[in-house]
Amino acid sequence: MVNLIAQIDAKPGAEAKVAEALRAVVGPSRAESGCVSYTAYRSKDCATSFHVVETWKSSEALDAHTKTAHFQAFSAAIADAVAGPPKMTFLEEL
């Protein structure tokens, strides 16, 4: 299993664009055969901070996810709305 949190920081004023793109990518991502879970959140403390908590069956499944049309469309949709690349935190279950 691959567990991760992707933090996406929107530029001020672009929060709605990022939120809309995240809503659009969640369903198709959950439908991928290698997806165990995929949930998007907005921080209650910082309106520009979004987080996607993901679990994939394998690193190959995660790699395949990044090549899907819906993920590529998501990436293109937020390209000018984010403050930088997502911060990826990979997690190890204890």
- Residue 63, both tokens: 């790699």
Which residues are 8's β-sheet partners? 50
pLDDT digits (tens, 9 = 90+) for 27-61: 999 999 999 999 999 999 999 999 999 999 999 99
Which residues are 54's β-sheet partners? 4, 38
pLDDT at 32: 98
Domain range for 33: 2-91
Q: What is the domain-level CATH number for residue 11?
A: 3.30.70.100
Burial string for 70-87 (b: 16+ CB within 10 Å, else e) reads bbeebeebbeebbeeebe
> What is the number of structural domains in the chain?
1
